[in-house]
Amino acid sequence: MLPQIRDQARLRAAFRWSIPDRYNIGVDVCDRWAAVDPDRPAIIEVFPEGGSAVLTFGGLREASNRLANALRQAGIGRGDRVGLLLPQSRDVAIAHVALYKLGAVALPLAVLFGIDGLTYRLADAGAKGLVTNAANVARLAPVRGTLPALEVVLSVDGPDAGVLGFHEAMARESAAFAPVDTGPDDPALMIFTSGTTGPPKGALHGHRVLPGHLPGFELVHEFYPQPGDLMWTPADWAWAGGLLNAMLPSLHHGVAVVARKFEKFDPEEAFRLLQDYGIRNTFVPPTALRMLRAVDNPRGRFDLKLRTVASAGEALGAETLAWGREALGLTINEAYGQTECNLVLGSCAALGLVRPGFIGTAVPGHDVAVIRPDGSRCGPGELGQIAVMRPDPVMFLGYWNRPEATAEKFIGDWMTTGDQGEADENGFVRFVGRDDDVITSSGYRIGPVEIEDCLLRHPAVANAAAVGKPDPLRTEIVKAFIVLKPGYAPGDALASDIRRFVRERLSAHEYPREIAFIGDLPLTTTGKVIRRELRAVA
């Protein structure tokens, strides 16, 4: 969708949205390619035990048609919500395409959710169907009686009591299916917010959510696609980052996506995967990037073919940006958005749109600003809330069954994000922190990102989070929770050294006056630090 113009001003001036009046994600990412090149690889599934299998666009069309027929036969119809609870695999892609072509609403669910999290989301969405595996069928068995709307469950591991076999049901159906005629505003996808600021809410998206992502996706991957491109992400496809920053946009462009299930992210295995399959493009959340940093000399040890690396979910930080240039030989491009309105800010090294410590600028086609509480735009360097102007093709239709919460999300036509930031005179936006994460100390408002980025430069620190702790004198003090690298032991001397390290590099009001060493940081399933849990124990 982006014109091939390597100048920011000319590119922005030339950009125009192009979204058809009738549009269906499933037809776009599958049937369109299957009609012209059925043998083109779509999904390359890599098995943990070794080896791989290729699903072509022709195979994806046939399998998704069979599944759409099976789901319709089981009673799933237009507008019905169907949960997808599986790790990365060909079956996930098949299910997504089938649901879009059926006119149903895909409800991606992360495999890391506990039983309470799964039950809440299935119940809140009123899910009528679920595609999963035997392990999750067993997990959900004790609570299935509390989900009266859940009528149809399919397992990729075969049939069981009250459960249909995914592959068996497909085998009984025709490979011919006429996709439902849908418009860009017809519901297609519901992704629950990560719950960093209260109970998760279902963000309902129309079919236009995919074309809405394309300009930002193409920008952060430097005018994607280029010859030889091949996409992989360690992010769960149940998250907007994995699904809409990687899998679906790649299939839209006819570029194959590598699927690899990780029980637990292993940085050595990740580099080996990048090498063995010649992966050219990857979307890696900041938490995983920090884990990759633990691998010494990756370019010396692995034959990497990477062309682009993009990251989003939390602020990247100047330290990780510098590591990418040194260790990977490229600039990691950063993206910003939310489940409700994703990929609206981004950086692009090919256009010179990279500034350490800043996310980037507004992606062509999106009006993004830092605003005051009254909705007026902030001046350069003025702290405010990051917001996106409606209408916008990538913006959600609303929160499922929560019209009041949807209305509260807006100030006039600005969709607010709850994220504090500031913009410079050239439109580069710096992320400061969530509204609740900003620390007020001795009259200063301090964002945790800059402190955490500095902490990561200390040789002993593997990961870190900074929060405000109530203090009668200063309102709040900065407290840091630190995960140490192997070979380092917690102690007063190390804590003192870390405090001094930050104070010398930042300022006397930003260094952590208290430090706690912990084994792991609390994370959402999308890899974001849950700072409210840390504040509760600070």
Q: What is the DSSP code string of 292-339? A: HTTSS-HHHHS-----EEEE-SS---HHHHHHIIIIISSPPEEEEEET
Dihedral sign from CA coordinates of 242, 247, 252, 255: positive
**pLDDT reported for residue 287:** 78
What does the alpha-carbon distance between residue 313 and residue 116 come to, in Å, rounded to a whole number?
24
Query: What residue ranges do the domains of the chain occupy?
Result: 23-33+55-207, 437-537
Check: CB of residue 209 under 8 Å from CB of residue 56: no
Percent of the chain with pLDDT over 70: 98
Section 25-41 average pLDDT:
98
CA distance 125 to 131: 15
Task: Give the residue among 497, 461, 505, 458 at the shortest CA–CA distance from 481.
Answer: 461
Reported pTM: 0.86
Average pLDDT over residues 101-126: 93
Q: What is the DSSP letter of 27?
A: I
DSSP 49: T
Give the mean pLDDT of 433-446: 74
Task: Name the least confident of 44-53, 313-322, 513-522.
Answer: 313-322
Calpha distance 418→431 (Å, rounded): 11
The whole-angstrom separation of Cα 235 and Cα 398 is 24
CA 105 to chain centre: 19
**Cβ–Cβ < 8 Å for 153, 130:** yes
CATH of segment(s) 23-33+55-207: 3.40.50.12780
Q: Do domains 23-33+55-207 and 437-537 have the same CATH topology?
A: no
Mean pLDDT for the stretch of residues 468-495: 92
pLDDT at residue 252 greater than cutoff 60: yes
Residue 514, burial from CB neighbour count under 10 angstroms (0-12, 13-18, 19+): middle
Cα 296 to Cα 403: distance, rounded to the nearest angstrom? 50
Is the pLDDT at 12 greater than 70? The verdict is: yes
Residue 176 has pLDDT above 80, yes or no: yes
Q: Is the pLDDT of residue 218 over 60?
A: yes
Q: How far apart are CA 240 and CA 342, in angstroms?
A: 8
Q: What is the pLDDT of residue 503?
A: 87
- pLDDT given for residue 159 in this prediction: 97
Nearest of 172, 181, 189, 162 to residue 69 by alpha carbon: 172
Tell me the torsion sign for CA atoms 51, 312, 195, 24. Answer: negative
Please tell me whether the peptide bond between 391 and the residue prior to it is cis, using omega within 30 degrees of 0.
yes
The amino acid present at 201, given as its one-letter code, is: K
Strand-pairing partners, residue 259, are 45
The neighbouring-strand residues paired with 469 are 477
Q: Please check whether residue 357 is in contact with residue 319, taking contact to mean a CB–CB distance below 8 angstroms.
A: no
| Alpha carbons 245 and 285: distance in angstroms, whole number | 11
Q: Please tell me the total number of residues recorded for the chain in this structure.
A: 538
- Would you call 455 exposed, middle or buried from its count of C-beta atoms within 10 A (0-12, 13-18, 19+)? buried
Question: 437-537 — its CATH code?
Answer: 3.30.300.30
